[in-house]
């Protein structure tokens, strides 16, 4: 598994040296599948008036402080 974050200008081993695994975290967050049961994932729904009804907007936010602490990143590098 290689990381392509901006810590180095070449693919490198995740969490090595200056690498904080941000690229791996972004990929996992964009996919969203790893976040479904994650303890750092906060999901909410906002309802907005739309015509005669309401539109629901589903939001997802990641509260992990360090990319290396993300469970999805940990699973990807093993």
Per residue in 8-61, pLDDT (tens digit) is 888 888 888 888 888 888 888 999 888 988 999 999 999 999 989 999 999 999
Does 12 reside within a domain? no
Which residues constitute the domain of residue 51?
A: 22-77
Per-residue confidence band for 3, with pLDDT thresholds at 50, 70 and 90? confident
What is the distance in angstroms between the CA of the first residue and the CA of the last residue of the chain? 8
Higher pLDDT residue, 52 or 2? 52
pLDDT of 54: 92
Residue 8 belongs to a domain: no
The answer as to whether 9 is a domain residue is: no
32-38-41-43 Cα dihedral, nearest 10 degrees: 80
Number of domains in the chain: 1
pLDDT confidence of residue 8? 86
Residue 13 lies in a domain: no
**Does 55 fall in a domain?**
yes
Q: Encode 43-78: b = buried (16+ Cβ within 10 Å), e = exposed.
A: eeeeeeeeeeeeeeeeeeebebeebbebbbbeebee
């Amino acid at each position: 598994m290689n990381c392509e974050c901006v810590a180095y200008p070449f693919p490198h081993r995740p969490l090595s040296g200056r690498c904080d695994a941000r690229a791996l975290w972004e990929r996992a967050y964009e996919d969203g599948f790893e976040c479904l049961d994650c303890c750092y994932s906060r999901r909410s729904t906002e309802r907005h008036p739309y015509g005669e009804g309401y539109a629901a907007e589903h939001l997802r936010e990641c509260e992990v402080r360090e990319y290396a602490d993300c469970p999805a990143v940990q699973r990807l590098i093993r």
